[in-house]
Amino acid sequence: MKFGKNSGYKKCPRCGNKCLQAQSECEECGLIFSRMEYASNKAAKRKLRHFDTDFVIYTNQYPKDVSYIKLLLLTIFLGITGAHYYYVGKYVKGGLMTACFVYLVFCTIFNAQMVEYLETYYLYLPIGIAAFAWIASLIYVITKKFKVPVTIDMSMATANVVDVEYARKEFDKVTEELKNENLKNKNKKKKNDVVEDVKKSEDGDKK
């Protein structure tokens, strides 16, 4: 299945559901597509550091604050340490990978002493996991299937409310002008009334 601007279909960045190009919301997971414009990895990382997973979604539609080149280079050169996981905010996976990497270094340094223990195959397991995760990550990153956590950055999302703010200011200005005009009219009326009253009283005096 091809997705693209000409196919008439698009893929939901959160759940991968096939949606019509014209759809504004995914019927499968409820994601409102226009919100993705304000998706931020930085904001998601901040949330994840506080163990807050609310409104954090995982997508391979990279937000503006994730550099694909950086992610690719980190995965290639430092992937075995889990650096690419830290870069996008997958701290648990990163931590596991770092632990495996430390274990690998440990095994390398104390190779001679450990050889007899390492004959028990399960001691190789962490190294296998790290190697597997590294290769899997590489394939995912290269094929652009590596998902990154993002969340809607409220400061970015409210940035276009400036227009509303501007409109409100304009509105206030106009109402202020109207008020002044009304006040002037009222004053004029009052003056006229006073003048009329005086005239009336003068007329009355004459009579």
Q: Which residues bind Zn ion (CB under 5 A)?
A: 12, 14-15, 17, 26, 28-29, 31
Of 26 and 148, which has the nearer Cβ to Zn ion? 26
Task: Extract the tokens encoding 152.
Answer: 């809607």
* DSSP conformational letter for 82: T
Nearer CB in complex with Zn ion: 17/98: 17
* C-beta of 15 vs 56, nearer to Zn ion: 15
Q: Residue 39 contacts by C-beta under 8 Å, 6 or more apart in sequence?
A: 59, 61, 63, 150, 151, 152, 153
Buried (b) or exposed (e) across 90-126, using 16+ Cβ within 10 A? bbeebebbbebbebbeebeeeeeeeeeeeeeeeeeeb
Q: How near is the Cβ of 57 to Zn ion at its closest, in Å?
A: 9
Q: Least distance from C-beta 110 to Zn ion, angstroms?
A: 49
For residue 9, give the 3-state DSSP assignment.
strand
Question: In the complex with Zn ion, which residue's Cβ is closer, 57 or 83?
Answer: 57
Specify the residue, 15 or 36, whose C-beta has the smaller distance to Zn ion.
15
Shortest distance, CB of residue 65 to Zn ion, whole angstroms?
22
Tokens of 27: 């019927």
Least CB distance from residue 4 to Zn ion, whole Å? 18
Kind of pairing between the strands at 18-20 and 9-11: antiparallel
* Shortest separation between residue 132's beta carbon and Zn ion, angstroms: 29
Which DSSP category does 28 fall into?
T
Nearest to 76 by CA among 124, 15, 21, 146: 146
SS3 state of residue 79: helix
Residue 199 C-alpha from the chain's centroid: 72
Report the nearest approach of Zn ion to the CB of residue 12 (Å).
3
